Structure 1
Amino acid sequence: MRLIRYGKGEVFIIISLDSDIIENLTKTELEIINFINSHENTLHAMSIVDIAFDTYSSPSTVSRAIRKCGLNGFNELRYRSGNKARSEEIQSMNELFNKTLIEAQAVHERISLTDILAVIQCLKEAHQISVFARGLTTYVGQEFSLKLQLLDYDVFFTDDPNIMQVKASKLKERDVLFILSLNGQTPELVSSAVTAHQKGNCVISCCCNPKSRLLSCSKISLVGFKHSHQAIKEFEVSSRIPLYMICRIIIDYMSTYS
């Protein structure tokens, strides 16, 4: 963010413009950037829809204009303007928005597209897909299982540790075990993975811990990113957004290209 001084006043330019950038902008895009720079005091409270409405444009045009100026998108713009805001509440909220953005970007950077395609191929060839999850990750597993069922796959889901052990020992030759775990250290999930792996079944683990014990007994592992910030420190209620994202990518591909 660039600071320009005029007499006793100060003007913050959120998006700096040079001749090369200006030449690359359309008339509408330039008007959008000028609007952003002239509303630095209120921009932190605006959404991309608000900016589009006030500039008689569209959210996609606003996003394109911002990216042409070298920013990664509206979230980075909001982060810059939020840091300028004097309100501590606005600054705090801005940090929370940025936390989610960092988490999402890290998942995209860390997940191998080759591994995603390999997972999808295993799921397509499976006779039955068993999905295991525990704790809050149960909700991720339930949604993932339901969507697979809607795509006409034979899916068995459980979060019961006793059932996991029995089911893992009775998997048939073409059955696949898909394990969802944030930390990848839950004993019953690890034990189930070991059992299925020793039987020769395809074990797929999806977690956010690169040192998880699950990785050594999985045919394919999808390792996301876990943010260090924990909102409620007394309990393990860290964000499951990375797991949701990975499952969504799998489901979206299978529903679109199957």
Structure 2
Amino acid sequence: MTLDSVRAASASLPESLRRIADFVLSEPSVAARLTITELAERTGTSQGTVTRFCRACGLKGFAELRIAMAEEVGRTGAQRWSDDIGREIGPEDTTEQVLKVLVATNVQALSRTAEQLDLAAVDEVVEKLIAARHCHFFGVGTSGVSGNELAKRLQRIAITCWSSSDVHTGLVAASLAEPADVFVGISSSGKVVETIEVLQAARRKGATTIAITAQPGSPLTDAADLVLTTGRQTSAEPAGALADRHAQFLVLDILYTRIAQATHPQTLTLLVSTAEALQPHRTTPNPPKRKPKP
């Protein structure tokens, strides 16, 4: 028994019973730990109302409801683990097993990305970034980390760019955009609302918009003038979510390298200059100790 019966019955329940249904469905992990008295208090009802709620949903009583809530929590938790960590990595696996799965998955993600990446589109994006007045990279979560990494590397070779993962910052930047600017939105799913909003806002101002995603045809690509796709993971693939960021980094690495090639003389001078600026902040390796002569 799951909470499917509660979902099916909730729309036709009277208000007092619907309050219980809404709480149970929205917070099953919390509700599963409550006694019947505590559930009644949290929903502003009575123990009798909780009992009527259980029967209205086709359950024998509160004990059966708690079992249903616990099953729901277990099912949701297992799916979340599978989506974020992977089907082939369990909580009790050894470090060696985790390493093997991650290496295999990342190699597959990189190979798939390399095979299907549109290289002509890569070079077109490179031209846009080099010629841009300003470049702005936007992504949420790990995609934001990827965008920030590329922005920092490009700043070192005098490409005027910023990165952000906060939608307010991104929208402010987009509101100030001009046709000579480039906005890059990064999202593996292509469905992150904040990233889509930033690209749409930048496009309305006439800026060139670019999407980096694993999902061609996603809402993010609809807001983009140019699209670069990473290797698409299958739902059954082990540790697929963990490999997404490495596929992103491969695309960002080729963008950076192609920009450096296209601007080689200037880039070489800048790399030398910035390396010299950082040298005082690097430690000097200690010379190897000589063994005393016998």
TM-score category (smaller protein): 0.5 to 0.7
Determine the C-alpha separation between the residues in 2 that align with 1:158 and 1:190: 14
Higher-Rg member (1/2): 2
1:242 paired to 2:268: no
Determine the C-alpha separation between the residues in 2 that align with 1:237 and 1:135: 13
**Corresponding position of 1:134:** 140
Q: Which has the higher contact order (CA 8 A, sep 6+)?
A: 2
Shift of the alpha carbon at 1:148?
0.7
Determine the C-alpha separation between the residues in 2 that align with 1:215 and 1:124: 22
Structure 1 residues without counterparts, runs of 5 or longer: 1-87
Alignment of 1:205-220 (within 5 A): 205-220=211-226
1:155 paired to 2:161: yes
Q: Deviations over 1:2-40 (max 9, x none)?
A: xxxxxxxxxxxxxxxxxxxxxxxxxxxxxxxxxxxxxxx
Determine the C-alpha separation between the residues in 2 that align with 1:106 and 1:167: 34
**Corresponding position of 1:107:** 113
Determine the C-alpha separation between the residues in 2 that align with 1:239 and 1:216: 21
Alignment of 1:44-55 (within 5 A): none
1:199 paired to 2:214: no
Shift of the alpha carbon at 1:230?
5.2
Residue identity (%): 20
Determine the C-alpha separation between the residues in 2 that align with 1:162 and 1:93: 38
**Corresponding position of 1:175:** 181
1:222 paired to 2:222: no
Shift of the alpha carbon at 1:92?
7.3
In structure 2, what residue type is equivalent to 1:149? Q
Sort the Cα spacing of 1:153 and 1:96 in 2 relative to 1 into closer, same or farther, 3 A: closer
SS of the equivalent of 1:156 reads strand
Shift of the alpha carbon at 1:227?
2.5
Q: Across the two proteins, how many residue pairs are aligned to each other?
A: 168
Using the size of structure 2 for normalisation, the TM-score is: 0.53
Determine the C-alpha separation between the residues in 1 that align with 2:99 and 2:151: 33
Determine the C-alpha separation between the residues in 1 that align with 2:102 and 2:194: 33
SS of the equivalent of 1:189 reads helix
SS of the equivalent of 1:239 reads helix
Determine the C-alpha separation between the residues in 2 that align with 1:93 and 1:176: 38
Sort the Cα spacing of 1:116 and 1:92 in 2 relative to 1 into closer, same or farther, 3 A: same
Shift of the alpha carbon at 1:198?
2.2
Using the size of structure 1 for normalisation, the TM-score is: 0.60
Please identify which structure carries the higher strand content. 1
Shift of the alpha carbon at 1:177?
0.5
Determine the C-alpha separation between the residues in 1 that align with 2:259 and 2:231: 23
In structure 1, what residue type is equivalent to 2:127? Q
Determine the C-alpha separation between the residues in 2 that align with 1:142 and 1:151: 15
Determine the C-alpha separation between the residues in 2 that align with 1:185 and 1:218: 13
